[in-house]
Amino acid sequence: MTDTARETRVKRLRSLPIDGQAFKNLVEAGLTWLRTNQETVNALNVFPVPDGDTGTNMVLTMQSAYDEIRDSGHRSIGKMAEAVSQGALMGARGNSGVILSQIWRGVARALHDKETLDGPSFVQALAEARDTAYKGVVRPVEGTILTVAKDIAAAAEEALKETQDPIEILERVVEAADASVQRTPELLDVLKQAGVVDAGGKGLFFILEGMLRYVYGEPLDTPLASVQPISALNLQNTMETIEPGQDFEVVVDFYPSRPLDLQSFYRALEEMGTSIQVGEGEGMYRMHIHVPLEKRYEPIDYIMGLGTITKVAMENLVAQMEEIDRQASGDWLELANVEPGQIAVVAVSPGPGLSRIFASLGAAAIVEGGQTMNPSTQEILAAFENLPTDKVIILPNNKNIILAAQQAKEVTVKRVIVVPSRTVPQGLAAMLALDPDGDLEAVAGRMAEALETVQSGEITIATRSVEIDGVTVTKGQVIAILDGKLVLAASTVEEACLGLLKAANAEEKELITLFVGQDLPHAEAGRIADAVRAAYPDQEVEVQHGGQPHYHLIVSIE
């Protein structure tokens, strides 16, 4: 768009009231631009582990917010903002998604009696968004999305001294958001160590920038002309955002015969489908796309004209989603039968094997989730709303799911306590303290105490080279994480596991349990278990099938 055309568009928009329908357009624009840059946000991961999901969580939270207003005809911006807040609340995933939903909640509070948006009400909305977001976090941390929310509210207040035009204020806000994101490593040392900015703050910036791009008439849905390393492609999360008409997933590896024009490549793919991702490594490209049934061969034919195809993978998404829905229904598990008045435990589990273990220990409901697949507030709520009891304990079993669990607690009339388990081993330890017929508060207290009786380890593959927590990691190495801290890098899973146990002083403990992930062969898991038994002859060593993705081993030491 030329400068003259942009000026004409902005002038026209300034002459129109920012009512509910205009607000809906802005929300859609923020969602679209965030989705365009979703993988950029996902890549801003502190630890070099394959669980960058902040962008995905924020997109799904925004998608739920927009779905709530998609067909709304409200002219009142107050009513539209209230609907956005409700949609974001129920769809919130991960810590970043929950905080984003609190930001929208604050906006809705400030605008609840407004018909249109002007400069002062816009500033008030950002101030209330900041205050609500901070109040929603028990221990706020600076250098995060909270800081960005604070800085944009301050920038809006300063802008109001010079103008009451909401568009001019938005321009100042976007500038402030960008600057605030760039400062986050100075406020949070772990970001500086990792060499990244805060992912949640970056996501909020993209939402605001998307709104401004809409005002300017700039494109929103053209993916950035960039490519990421093949190892950083996060295809697991693409299953979270399947839309109607996305019948097949197609992945193609190829070597282009000439330098790839990424802009035209993306534009061609956009005509075929959605959920487009492109990765590159040593001259080879990997393309991922979701397409309708009748177009399932189009990406292959198109890429064949660009170079040499080395591998093609095609999956029926409809069949996969049916299987996911079947598993999510719990029909494949022997869950505890809860009577009225008893305590029901809802456990979040990242793998089918772990789900069976939670069920065997007395869980009444299982919510699929973990790294890269944080469940929403609505999914957690749905797991217990229809259980025949009003006494519920939630075990999130992941630090990034705790806030969503707390939010589910706030929107139900049932008596719910969230026992803040940050890992699967903590959740399993808590299950051993369950007494379904006991007093809810007393049982929850004993389960919370049990969290401290176990150490938790994770073994996975580094997705990038970095130095953090005093450990130098090279992309592709095996890494070990103990109670949330990176402790070593190794060349094999066995070496990492033994190093992890040494760091945990496992010789002083009684029981070591290895939960085997879906990517670790059975024979190798057996060899590792034998090595652990040889190194720790006085400890009991158990091996369980966990089935979790990404993490070769989850280790419990108690």
Q: Is residue 484 part of a domain?
A: yes
Tokens of 80: 């539209």
- Tell the residue number behind the tokens 């996060």, with chain if given: 234
DSSP state of 102: H
Token pair, residue 552, equals 């070769």
Q: Tell me the average pLDDT of the chain.
A: 89
Residue with tokens 């992941």: 398
Count of C-beta atoms within a 10 Å radius of residue 295? 17
Same-domain pairing of 348 and 464:
no
**End-of-domain residue from the set 453, 471, 498:** 453
Q: Which residue has the tokens 């809860």?
A: 338
User: Is 419 among the domain residues?
Assistant: yes
In this predicted model, what pLDDT tens digit does every residue of 109-121 receive, in sequence order? 999 999 999 999 9
User: Would you say 187 and 147 are in contact if contact means Cβ atoms under 8 Å apart?
Assistant: yes
- Taking the chain, what is the end-to-end CA distance rounded to the nearest angstrom? 63
Confidence check: pLDDT of 60 > 60: yes
Q: What pLDDT sits at residue 15? A: 81
Tell me the per-residue pLDDT of 282-309, one tens digit each, with 9 for 90 and over: 788 988 888 888 888 999 999 999 999 9
pTM, two decimals, is 0.78
Closest to 23 in 3D by CA, of 284, 290, 215: 215
**Residue corresponding to tokens 């010079």:** 162
Give 504-513 pLDDT, tens digit per residue: 999 999 999 9
Check: CB of residue 56 under 8 Å from CB of residue 42. yes
Q: Give the 3-state DSSP-derived string for 94-106, with helices as H, strands as E and coil as C.
A: HHHHHHHHHHHHH
Mean pLDDT value across residues 242-260 = 81
Contact 447, 419 (CB under 8 A): yes
Q: Which of 401, 345, 327, 416 is nearest to 371 (CA)?
A: 401
Q: Is residue 293 part of a domain?
A: yes
Determine, yes or no, domain membership for 222: no
Tokens for 81, please give them: 């903002």
SS3 for 544?
Answer: strand
Residues whose CB falls within 8 Å of the CB of residue 434, separated by 6 or more in sequence, listed in order: 343, 345, 361, 362, 393, 443, 447
Give the contacts of 225 (CB within 8 A, at least 6 positions apart). 262, 263, 266
The pLDDT assigned to 367 comes to 94
**Residue 546: which of 333, 331, 357 has the closest Cα?**
357
Query: pLDDT value at position 328?
Result: 47
Asked whether residue 362 falls in the same domain as residue 295, the answer is no
**Is the domain of 104 the same as that of 118?**
yes
Instruction: Band the pLDDT of 135: cuts 50, 70, 90.
Output: very high
C-alpha torsion 115→121→34→262, nearest 10: 100
Q: Of residues 196 and 147, which shows the higher confidence score? A: 147
Q: Which of 543, 539, 536 is closest to 510 using CA atoms?
A: 539
**Lowest-pLDDT range of 72-86, 227-241, 467-481:** 227-241
- Number of C-beta neighbours around residue 132 at 10 A: 22
Q: Are residues 7 and 31 in the same domain?
A: yes
Q: What does the block give as tokens for 487?
A: 């402790």
Query: CA-CA distance, 409 to 405, in Å (whole number)?
Result: 6
**Pairwise CA distance, residues 65 & 473, whole Å:** 39
d(CA 378, CA 402) in angstroms, rounded, equals 14
Does residue 471 fall inside a structural domain? yes
Mean pLDDT in residue range 420-438? 96
- CATH no. for residue 390? 3.40.50.510
Ranking 8-12, 23-27, 144-148 by mean pLDDT, the lowest is 8-12
pLDDT of 46 over the 80 cut: no
Q: Are 238 and 249 in contact (CB under 8 A)?
A: yes
Inform me whether the pLDDT recorded for 549 exceeds 50: yes
Residue 240 pLDDT:
47
Tell me, yes or no, whether 318 and 337 share the same domain: no
Pair 468, 425 in one domain? no
In a domain, 468, yes or no: yes
| Predicted confidence (pLDDT) at residue 558 exceeds the cutoff of 70 | yes
223 located within any domain: no
Output 53 or 391, whichever has higher pLDDT.
Answer: 391
Could you tell me if residue 221 is inside a domain? no
Question: What CATH number corresponds to the domain at position 483?
Answer: 3.30.1180
| pLDDT value of residue 260 | 87
Domain boundary among 426, 453, 480: 453
> Any bridge partners for residue 312, and if so which?
252
CA–CA separation, 440 and 418 (whole Å): 11
Number of domains composing the chain: 4
Least confident of 241-250, 267-276, 341-350: 241-250
Query: Which pLDDT band holds residue 226 (cuts at 50, 70, 90)?
Result: low
**Digit-coded pLDDT (tens) for 339-385:** 999 999 999 999 999 999 999 999 999 999 887 788 999 999 999 99
- Amino acid of residue 62: M
Per-residue confidence (pLDDT) for residue 50, from 0 to 100? 62
Task: Report the candidate in 236, 257, 261, 239 with the shortest Cα–Cα distance to residue 248.
Answer: 239
Owning domain of residue 405: 329-453
Q: Is the pLDDT of residue 330 over 60?
A: no
Better-scored residue on pLDDT, 334 or 543 = 543
Interval 485-497 mean pLDDT = 95
Residues 463 and 521 in one domain: yes
Nearest to 291 by CA among 240, 249, 253, 319: 249
The residues, ordered by sequence, that sit 6+ positions from 228 with a Cβ below 8 Å of its Cβ are 39, 43, 277, 278, 279, 280
Q: Are residues 353 and 304 in the same domain?
A: no
165 and 20 in one domain?
yes
Q: Which of the pair, 228 or 550, is modelled with greater confidence?
A: 550
49, 175: one domain? yes
Looking at the fold, whether 21 and 137 belong to one and the same domain comes out as yes
Nearest to 451 by CA among 466, 435, 432, 469: 432
How much is the pLDDT for 273? Answer: 84
Determine the average pLDDT of the residues in 453-460: 96
Quick: pLDDT tens for 198-217: 999 999 999 999 999 999 99
| pLDDT score, position 408 | 95
What is the reported pLDDT for 206?
Answer: 96
**Structure-token match 């066995």, residue found:** 494
| Window from 95-99, 157-161, 290-294 with minimum mean pLDDT | 290-294
Average pLDDT over residues 384-408: 95
Strand partners, 415: 391
Other Cβ atoms within 10 Å of 243 Cβ, number: 10
Q: Residue 33: give its domain's CATH number.
A: 1.25.40.340
The alpha carbon dihedral of 54, 55, 56, 62 has a sign of positive
Question: Could you tell me the CATH number of the domain that includes residue 263?
Answer: 3.30.70.260
526 has pLDDT over 70: yes
Domain boundary among 216, 237, 265: 216
**Confidence bin at 261 (pLDDT 50/70/90):** confident
Q: Does residue 153 share a domain with residue 251?
A: no
pLDDT over 90 percentage in the chain: 67
The arithmetic mean of pLDDT across residues 37-65, rounded, is 83
